[in-house]
Amino acid sequence: MSGGQMRRHLWAFGVVVGVVVVFVLSQTPQFRSGASASAAEPTPAVSVTTLPALATTAPQTSASPGQVNPFPTATQAPPPVYSTMSPQDMAAHSIIQVSGEVDKPLTLALKDLEHMKPTSFTQRVVDPDGKRRVHTFTGASLSDVVTAAHPRFPSDIATLARKYVLVTGVSGATAIVAFPEFEPQFNGKVVILAYLVDFKNFAGPGFAMLAVQEDATTARFLPVARITVAGPSI
Protein backbone atom coordinates (compact mmCIF):
# COMPACT_ATOMS: atom_id res chain seq x y z
CA MET A 1 0.00 0.00 0.00
CA SER A 2 1.35 3.36 -1.00
CA GLY A 3 1.74 6.31 1.36
CA GLY A 4 -1.19 8.19 -0.20
CA GLN A 5 -3.55 5.27 0.29
CA MET A 6 -2.40 4.91 3.90
CA ARG A 7 -3.28 8.59 4.63
CA ARG A 8 -6.72 8.22 3.04
CA HIS A 9 -7.48 5.15 5.18
CA LEU A 10 -6.38 6.98 8.38
CA TRP A 11 -8.51 10.03 7.51
CA ALA A 12 -11.58 7.86 6.87
CA PHE A 13 -10.98 6.02 10.17
CA GLY A 14 -10.75 9.34 12.04
CA VAL A 15 -14.02 10.52 10.56
CA VAL A 16 -15.80 7.34 11.64
CA VAL A 17 -14.40 7.60 15.20
CA GLY A 18 -15.49 11.26 15.44
CA VAL A 19 -19.03 10.42 14.36
CA VAL A 20 -19.26 7.65 16.95
CA VAL A 21 -18.01 9.96 19.75
CA VAL A 22 -20.48 12.71 18.85
CA PHE A 23 -23.35 10.20 18.80
CA VAL A 24 -22.42 8.79 22.21
CA LEU A 25 -22.12 12.23 23.80
CA SER A 26 -25.45 13.35 22.38
CA GLN A 27 -27.16 10.52 24.26
CA THR A 28 -25.64 11.56 27.62
CA PRO A 29 -27.99 14.03 29.57
CA GLN A 30 -25.25 16.13 31.15
CA PHE A 31 -23.68 16.84 27.73
CA ARG A 32 -26.84 17.79 25.86
CA SER A 33 -27.14 21.26 24.47
CA GLY A 34 -28.28 24.03 26.83
CA ALA A 35 -31.50 24.62 24.91
CA SER A 36 -32.48 20.92 24.89
CA ALA A 37 -31.65 20.49 28.57
CA SER A 38 -33.66 23.59 29.49
CA ALA A 39 -36.61 22.38 27.48
CA ALA A 40 -36.53 18.96 29.14
CA GLU A 41 -36.34 20.25 32.72
CA PRO A 42 -39.68 21.01 34.44
CA THR A 43 -40.50 24.69 35.15
CA PRO A 44 -41.31 25.33 38.83
CA ALA A 45 -44.76 26.82 39.45
CA VAL A 46 -44.97 30.07 41.46
CA SER A 47 -48.12 30.78 43.47
CA VAL A 48 -48.88 34.47 44.05
CA THR A 49 -51.34 35.36 46.82
CA THR A 50 -52.63 38.93 47.08
CA LEU A 51 -52.91 40.03 50.72
CA PRO A 52 -55.80 42.30 51.75
CA ALA A 53 -54.92 45.98 52.13
CA LEU A 54 -54.15 47.11 55.68
CA ALA A 55 -56.60 49.49 57.31
CA THR A 56 -55.46 53.11 57.07
CA THR A 57 -57.98 54.55 59.52
CA ALA A 58 -58.70 53.82 63.16
CA PRO A 59 -61.32 51.15 63.76
CA GLN A 60 -64.80 52.38 64.47
CA THR A 61 -65.50 52.43 68.19
CA SER A 62 -69.20 53.16 68.10
CA ALA A 63 -71.30 50.25 69.21
CA SER A 64 -74.48 49.21 67.49
CA PRO A 65 -77.74 49.48 69.44
CA GLY A 66 -77.89 46.98 72.26
CA GLN A 67 -74.13 46.46 72.37
CA VAL A 68 -71.65 47.83 74.90
CA ASN A 69 -68.89 49.89 73.32
CA PRO A 70 -65.60 48.26 74.43
CA PHE A 71 -63.69 51.44 73.57
CA PRO A 72 -65.69 54.32 75.12
CA THR A 73 -64.67 57.77 73.98
CA ALA A 74 -63.25 59.91 76.78
CA THR A 75 -64.93 63.28 77.17
CA GLN A 76 -63.44 66.28 78.96
CA ALA A 77 -65.55 67.65 81.75
CA PRO A 78 -66.60 71.26 81.14
CA PRO A 79 -65.02 73.85 83.44
CA PRO A 80 -67.17 74.92 86.37
CA VAL A 81 -69.25 78.06 85.91
CA TYR A 82 -68.44 79.98 89.07
CA SER A 83 -71.06 82.66 88.54
CA THR A 84 -73.84 80.08 88.94
CA MET A 85 -72.29 78.21 91.87
CA SER A 86 -73.84 78.23 95.29
CA PRO A 87 -71.70 79.61 98.13
CA GLN A 88 -71.25 76.06 99.40
CA ASP A 89 -69.96 74.87 96.01
CA MET A 90 -67.55 77.80 95.81
CA ALA A 91 -66.18 76.88 99.23
CA ALA A 92 -65.78 73.28 98.07
CA HIS A 93 -63.78 74.51 95.05
CA SER A 94 -61.73 76.81 97.33
CA ILE A 95 -62.41 79.95 95.33
CA ILE A 96 -63.83 83.43 95.93
CA GLN A 97 -65.56 85.24 93.08
CA VAL A 98 -65.36 89.01 92.68
CA SER A 99 -67.98 90.50 90.35
CA GLY A 100 -70.49 93.30 90.00
CA GLU A 101 -69.57 96.80 88.79
CA VAL A 102 -66.07 95.81 87.75
CA ASP A 103 -64.29 95.54 84.40
CA LYS A 104 -62.19 92.56 85.44
CA PRO A 105 -64.16 89.95 87.39
CA LEU A 106 -61.88 87.75 89.46
CA THR A 107 -61.84 84.18 90.65
CA LEU A 108 -59.45 84.09 93.59
CA ALA A 109 -57.76 81.15 95.23
CA LEU A 110 -55.80 81.20 98.46
CA LYS A 111 -52.51 81.69 96.61
CA ASP A 112 -53.92 84.85 94.99
CA LEU A 113 -54.65 86.41 98.37
CA GLU A 114 -51.24 85.35 99.67
CA HIS A 115 -49.56 87.16 96.76
CA MET A 116 -51.17 90.45 97.80
CA LYS A 117 -49.67 92.70 100.45
CA PRO A 118 -50.60 91.20 103.85
CA THR A 119 -52.42 93.36 106.37
CA SER A 120 -53.01 92.52 110.03
CA PHE A 121 -54.87 93.84 113.01
CA THR A 122 -55.47 92.59 116.54
CA GLN A 123 -58.61 93.14 118.57
CA ARG A 124 -60.91 91.56 121.09
CA VAL A 125 -63.92 89.81 119.56
CA VAL A 126 -66.75 87.65 120.78
CA ASP A 127 -66.09 83.99 120.01
CA PRO A 128 -68.85 81.49 119.12
CA ASP A 129 -68.95 80.35 122.76
CA GLY A 130 -69.90 83.89 123.80
CA LYS A 131 -66.58 84.77 125.43
CA ARG A 132 -64.54 87.76 124.38
CA ARG A 133 -60.98 86.95 123.35
CA VAL A 134 -58.13 88.74 121.62
CA HIS A 135 -57.33 87.50 118.10
CA THR A 136 -54.98 88.56 115.34
CA PHE A 137 -56.30 88.53 111.77
CA THR A 138 -54.00 88.55 108.73
CA GLY A 139 -54.94 88.68 105.06
CA ALA A 140 -55.42 90.77 101.93
CA SER A 141 -57.16 94.10 102.30
CA LEU A 142 -60.63 94.36 100.79
CA SER A 143 -59.52 97.60 99.14
CA ASP A 144 -56.71 95.80 97.27
CA VAL A 145 -59.06 93.02 96.14
CA VAL A 146 -61.62 95.50 94.80
CA THR A 147 -58.92 97.58 93.09
CA ALA A 148 -57.57 94.44 91.36
CA ALA A 149 -61.03 93.93 89.84
CA HIS A 150 -60.94 97.45 88.25
CA PRO A 151 -64.18 99.14 89.38
CA ARG A 152 -65.91 100.73 86.41
CA PHE A 153 -66.84 103.93 88.24
CA PRO A 154 -64.69 106.98 89.11
CA SER A 155 -62.92 107.17 92.46
CA ASP A 156 -64.06 110.64 93.52
CA ILE A 157 -65.55 110.88 96.99
CA ALA A 158 -69.03 111.73 95.73
CA THR A 159 -69.17 108.48 93.77
CA LEU A 160 -67.50 106.31 96.41
CA ALA A 161 -69.89 107.59 99.06
CA ARG A 162 -72.67 105.70 97.26
CA LYS A 163 -70.85 102.43 96.59
CA TYR A 164 -70.63 99.33 98.72
CA VAL A 165 -69.37 95.75 98.72
CA LEU A 166 -71.83 92.92 99.28
CA VAL A 167 -70.05 89.94 100.85
CA THR A 168 -71.80 86.57 100.59
CA GLY A 169 -70.70 83.99 103.12
CA VAL A 170 -70.35 80.26 102.59
CA SER A 171 -73.61 79.68 104.48
CA GLY A 172 -75.45 82.17 102.26
CA ALA A 173 -75.46 84.91 104.90
CA THR A 174 -74.52 88.38 103.65
CA ALA A 175 -72.80 91.48 104.99
CA ILE A 176 -72.40 94.95 103.50
CA VAL A 177 -69.22 97.00 103.76
CA ALA A 178 -69.58 100.56 102.48
CA PHE A 179 -66.71 102.08 100.51
CA PRO A 180 -66.42 104.99 102.99
CA GLU A 181 -65.54 102.46 105.69
CA PHE A 182 -62.32 101.19 104.07
CA GLU A 183 -61.34 103.88 101.56
CA PRO A 184 -58.48 106.15 102.77
CA GLN A 185 -60.40 109.28 101.70
CA PHE A 186 -62.97 108.44 104.39
CA ASN A 187 -62.46 106.33 107.52
CA GLY A 188 -59.67 104.11 106.17
CA LYS A 189 -60.75 101.27 108.46
CA VAL A 190 -58.83 98.01 108.06
CA VAL A 191 -61.12 95.48 106.36
CA ILE A 192 -59.47 92.28 105.19
CA LEU A 193 -60.06 88.81 103.80
CA ALA A 194 -58.25 86.98 106.58
CA TYR A 195 -56.65 83.68 105.67
CA LEU A 196 -54.71 83.56 108.97
CA VAL A 197 -56.29 83.73 112.42
CA ASP A 198 -53.80 83.90 115.27
CA PHE A 199 -51.08 83.10 112.70
CA LYS A 200 -52.71 79.80 111.73
CA ASN A 201 -54.61 78.97 108.55
CA PHE A 202 -58.27 79.87 108.73
CA ALA A 203 -60.07 76.68 109.74
CA GLY A 204 -62.97 77.13 107.33
CA PRO A 205 -65.37 76.50 105.82
CA GLY A 206 -63.74 78.27 102.89
CA PHE A 207 -60.21 79.61 103.13
CA ALA A 208 -60.72 83.27 104.17
CA MET A 209 -63.09 85.24 106.35
CA LEU A 210 -64.19 88.84 106.27
CA ALA A 211 -62.69 90.65 109.26
CA VAL A 212 -63.65 94.26 110.02
CA GLN A 213 -61.54 96.34 112.36
CA GLU A 214 -63.36 97.96 115.31
CA ASP A 215 -66.57 95.97 114.82
CA ALA A 216 -68.03 95.36 118.28
CA THR A 217 -69.63 92.08 117.13
CA THR A 218 -68.67 89.30 114.75
CA ALA A 219 -71.84 89.62 112.67
CA ARG A 220 -69.79 90.56 109.61
CA PHE A 221 -66.99 88.03 110.25
CA LEU A 222 -68.14 85.65 107.51
CA PRO A 223 -66.31 82.86 105.67
CA VAL A 224 -66.25 84.47 102.20
CA ALA A 225 -67.63 82.87 99.03
CA ARG A 226 -68.50 85.86 96.83
CA ILE A 227 -67.79 89.61 96.70
CA THR A 228 -70.09 91.86 94.69
CA VAL A 229 -69.20 95.50 94.04
CA ALA A 230 -72.41 97.50 93.75
CA GLY A 231 -74.22 100.76 94.33
CA PRO A 232 -77.78 102.07 94.41
CA SER A 233 -79.68 101.70 91.16
CA ILE A 234 -80.72 105.36 91.17
Cα–Cα distance, 97 to 93 (Å, whole number): 11
Establish if 54 belongs to a structural domain: no
Domain count, the chain: 2
Residues 6+ positions from 61 with CB-CB distance below 8 Å: 69, 70, 71, 72, 73
Strand-pairing partners, residue 123, are: 135
How is 78-131 classified by DSSP, letter by letter? PPP-GGG--HHHHHHTT-EEEEESBSS-EEE-HHHHHHSPEEEEEEEEE-TTS-
> Domain span at residue 24?
3-37
Residue 115 covered by a domain = yes
- Read off φ and ψ for residue 34, nearest 5 degrees: -60, -40
Whether 29 and 131 share a structural domain: no
Whether the per-residue pLDDT at 176 is higher than 60: the answer is yes
49 vs 77: CA distance, rounded Å? 50
The answer to whether residues 13 and 127 belong to one domain is no
pLDDT digits over 73-126, tens only?
Answer: 444 434 444 455 666 665 556 899 999 999 999 999 999 999 999 999 999 998
Higher pLDDT, 40 or 207: 207
Please write the tens of the pLDDT for every residue from 46-85.
444 454 554 444 444 444 444 544 444 444 434 444 455 6
Specify the pTM: 0.62
